[in-house]
Amino acid sequence: MKKILVIHGPNLNLLGKREPGIYGQLTLDKLNQILKTAAKKEKVSLAIRQSNHEGLIVDLIGRAKNNKFSGILINPAAYTHTSVAIRDALAACGLPVVEVHLSNIHARESFRHQSLISPVASGTILGFGANSYRLGLAALLDLITVK
C-alpha cells in the first residue's frame, strides 16, 4: 500500500475558528476525515501531521523517504512565503510534492503572492477550500502512479 505524508502548516489547527470568511467553517478534524475517506477509496495510507513549528516540518520532510512515503501533500500555510528551510527540504527529499492552499494566495495580500514552495513542488492547487486538498491528493496519486 502506498503511503502519503500530509503536512498542515502553522495555524491550520485553528480551522473553523480563524478567519472563517477566508478559510471557511471546516475544522481540521473534518478536513482530515475528508482526506482519509478519499485515501481509503484509493487504497492508500495517509500519515497526517500538523505543526506550527518550522523545524518539525523540515524534520518530517527529511525523514519521509526513509519512512517509505511515496509522496507529500503539503499546505505550508504562512511558511509558503518565508521558509527557505522547508523549500530546501522539499527540494532534497526526492519525492513528488503537491502544494495546496485553501484560499487563493494570489487574490490576497501582496506579501502572500509569492510561494517559495511552488518552484520545488510538482504542482500547486489553491483557492478551492477543502477541495484543494482532495484535488491535491488526486493529483499526487496520479504522479505516483505514473512514476
C-alpha grid cell, residue 110: 501582496
Q: What pLDDT was estimated at residue 91? A: 98
pTM over 0.85: yes
Which architecture characterizes domain 2-146 according to CATH?
A: 3-Layer(aba) Sandwich (3.40)
Q: For the residues 6-21, what does the mean pLDDT come to?
A: 84
Query: pLDDT digit string (tens) for 54-90?
Result: 999 999 999 999 999 999 999 999 999 889 999 999 9
- Reply yes or no on whether 106 is catalytic: no
User: Any idea where the domains of the chain sit in the sequence?
Assistant: 2-146
Q: How far apart are CA 121 and CA 98, in angstroms?
A: 6
- The label of the residue with cell 512565503 reads 81
Q: Minimum mean pLDDT among 22-36, 38-52, 56-70, 71-85: which range?
A: 22-36
Report pLDDT digits (tens) over 93-142: 999 999 999 877 775 667 666 799 999 999 999 999 889 999 999 999 99
Q: How many CA atoms lie within 13 A of 45 on its CB side?
A: 8
The single residue of 23, 53, 79, 133 carrying the catalytic annotation is 23
101 belongs to the catalytic site: yes
CA distances for 127 relative to 23, 50, 105, 130, angstroms: 10, 20, 7, 9
Question: What is the b/e burial string over 51-80, where b = at least 16 CB atoms within 10 angstroms of the residue's CB?
Answer: bbebeebbebbeebeeeebbbbbbbbbebb
Active site residue: 8, 79, 101, 133, which one? 101
